[in-house]
Amino acid sequence: MVIMSQFGGPDGELAASMRYLSQRYSTKNRKVAGVLTDIGTEELAHMEMVSAIVHQLTKDITPQEIVESGFDKYYVDHTLGLWPQSAGGIPFTSTFFQSKGDVITDLIEDMAAEQKARTTYDNILRLVHDQEVCDPIKFLRQREINHFQRFGEALRIVLDELDSKNFYAVNIDYLPDLHK
Amino acid sequence: MEHYSKNYNMTGMEGVVSRMNISNKDKLFACITATSFVMDDLRIYLDTHPTDQEALDYWEKISRVRKEAVDEYTRNFGPIYSYDVNVKNKWTWVEDPWPWEGRC
């Protein structure tokens, strides 16, 4: 059940949502707070899509399919319930993401996160070939690429607003400390 | 019912929807889904480009189409948001299918 990773895995939609919705409080840049809020919310919708796919793929599973697919290891602990974990069984944890409280650090983390999510969808498309599943997966994959562009633009905005004393892009919010 | 499909033409999706042999309920819902997604995508763009006039105009246009579709759907087929549940003797919100009870 590889799609499970996009629910509760390290680069999945829940991790993305928690990352962005956690980071949004500490940024002083209003545009960045907007982007983090709105993309973080969209990721919750994506999480619902992925969860629905997992549910629909497992709800009529036969005992033989459970054993042959390896789903038995999940089934014994959760039956057909949805529980956030990676496909390999690692439970969801905040250690999947960082919220560093530094707007430049956080935005670069977010750009990496979108690429990781995109790669995960690439991997799913290599492994799954049911068109009814692949169509929404391709949509979700494309959204990761769009989000990556949005975070890139947000980073560009932050860097452009640095003044000339801060050439090496150290966090502007703590600039006065550096000049003591 | 025709006015919403005239407006829908603005999104360029009229051809797609009119070719589909589906009920008016499904057409309206497809309109709501499409316009909502356009606004979700545009919202994130506007967060970093707040003065892009073309984007702002498009937001307004799509918003009108969407609102009409939501109002019409709610009037004829029931609430999409729990805020719009019309209570008589019963809380009907949980009777409708949940998103994951779709086709698969």
Q: Which two tokens stand for residue A42?
A: 């969209």
Q: What pLDDT score was predicted for residue A108? A: 96
Beta-carbon contacts below 8 Å between A and B: 39
Band the pLDDT of A98: cuts 50, 70, 90: very high
Q: For residue A115, count CB atoms less than 10 angstroms from its CB and return exposed for 0-12, middle for 13-18, buried for 19 or more.
A: middle
Domains, chain A, ordered by start: 2-178 (1.20.1260.10)
Minimal Cα distance from A158: which residue of B?
A: B48
Q: Could you read off the pLDDT of A124-137 as tens digits, one per residue?
A: 999 999 999 999 99
Q: Does B51 touch chain A (CB under 8 A)?
A: no
pLDDT, tens digit, for every residue of B79-93? 999 999 988 878 888
- What average pLDDT does chain A have? 92
| Nearest chain B alpha carbon to A50 | B100
Longest alpha-carbon distance in chain B: 48
For residues A89 and A79, give the distance between their C-alpha atoms in angstroms, rounded to a whole number: 14
Beta bridge partners of A85: A91
Which residues are CB-contacts of A48 (< 8 A; sequence separation ≥ 6)?
Answer: B99, B100
Which of A77, A70, A61, A151 lies closest to A112, judged by CA?
Answer: A151
List CB contacts (< 8 A) between B48 and chain A: 31, 34-35, 150, 153-154, 157
Of A99-108, A165-174, B27-36, give the lowest mean pLDDT range: A165-174
Cβ-based neighbours of B17, under 8 Å, separated by 6 or more: B5, B8, B27, B30, B31
A52–B99: do the CB atoms touch at under 8 Å?
A: yes
Tokens for B84, please give them. Answer: 């719009």
Q: With a CB-CB cutoff of 8 Å, which residues 101-140 of chain A face chain B?
A: 132
- What is the mean predicted confidence (pLDDT) over B39-68? 97
Under DSSP, the state recorded for A104 is H
Are A38 and B47 in contact (CB < 8 Å)? yes
Question: Quick one: closest CA in A to B103, which residue?
Answer: A56
- The verdict on a CB contact (< 8 Å) between A55 and B48 is no
DSSP labels for A130-147? -HHHHHHHHHHHHHHHHH
Q: Which residue type occupies A116?
A: K
Cα distance between residue B5 and residue B45, in whole Å: 27
pLDDT at B74 over 90: yes
pLDDT of residue B11: 46
CB-nearest to B44 from A38, A48, A53 is A38
Which residue of A48, A132, A153 is in closest CB contact with B48?
A: A153
pTM: 0.86
- Please state the ipTM of this predicted complex: 0.87
